[in-house]
Amino acid sequence: MKRKTLLTIDDSPSPLMDQRLEFLRQLDIRIVWFCRGDNLTERPESAIRALREGHILGNHSWDHPYFSTLSLADAADQIDRTEALLERIHLVAGVPRTVRCFRFPYEDQIGSAEHHQALQEMLAARGFEASGLRAVTDPRFRRRAKDLSWFWSYDLEDWTLRSSDAPDAAPTLQRVLERLTRELPQRPSGLEVVVGHDHAHTVGQWEATILRLLDLDCEFVSLEEARALTPPARKPSLVEALP
């Protein structure tokens, strides 16, 4: 059976986002792009194109700080400046904002329990929503399923990729692809939320990781389709099956 997969890509828009949008358009794949405010000011037109082609844009802070070390005022500033841009980009694109999603850089929101709580309340006050992806079975994801910052269930580790002209680019890509090939088929069934990165130095390599996911029987679903999925039926344990 195909593995339902929601692709989420962080740190957008990069100078390669248009090329990546074209690649996804040809494969009929729609994803969630978590955008940085500073990158949105550089390349708003890529974000506008993504919206018009049916993708979802999320907030990934202004310039990617560690939120565990930020004051609450600075955290709010990071979120609000990026939100203001995202709002404007939706308006210009003529696409209504149907989802308000957020992902912390490095998923580093925690700090103390109080800080984590205060950040969650800050996101709630701004109308951010939990992912609502009930079909994910990965236990780490499940533990954080109610968080208003969207976690992932599988990391492509494409952030380890080297610049395409670096001497170790090819063996590094090989390692990333081999890991996917080894690990992904062993994963429990259920929706997979894959995280990758819109980094400008991974020319061509980014596409190779997506193609490998397809080779491994991943079926990419849109956020809307992913949210409509129900958890796979669990076989009752022997004890539960007793009368």
DSSP string, 178-222: HHHHHHGGGSPSSBEEEEEE--TT-TTHHHHHHHHHHHTTEEE--
Question: Stretches 7-15, 68-76, 131-139, 187-195: which one binds Zn ion (CB under 5 A)?
Answer: 7-15
Among 11, 138, 147, 192, indicate the residue that binds Zn ion (CB under 5 A): 11
Among 105, 133, 192, 223, indicate the residue that binds Zn ion (CB under 5 A): 105
The residues, ordered by sequence, that sit 6+ positions from 217 with a Cβ below 8 Å of its Cβ are 1, 2, 3, 185
Contact flag: residue 10 with Zn ion (CB under 5 A)? yes
Give the CB-nearest residue to Zn ion. 10
Q: Considering CB under 5 A, how many residues would be counted as binding Zn ion? A: 3
Question: Stretches 105-113, 115-123, 131-139, 185-193: which one binds Zn ion (CB under 5 A)?
Answer: 105-113
Minimal distance, residue 25 CB to Zn ion, in Å: 24
Question: Stretches 97-105, 134-142, 162-170, 223-231: which one binds Zn ion (CB under 5 A)?
Answer: 97-105
68 vs 137 by CB, closer to Zn ion: 68
Instruction: Please name which of 157, 199, 205, 144 lies closest in space to residue 33, comparing C-alpha atoms.
Output: 199
The residues, ordered by sequence, that sit 6+ positions from 129 with a Cβ below 8 Å of its Cβ are 99, 100, 101, 148
CA distances from 75 to 102, 141, 144, 147, 185 (A): 13, 23, 20, 16, 38
11 vs 135 by CB, closer to Zn ion: 11
Residues at the contact surface with Zn ion, assessed by CB under 5 A: 10-11, 105
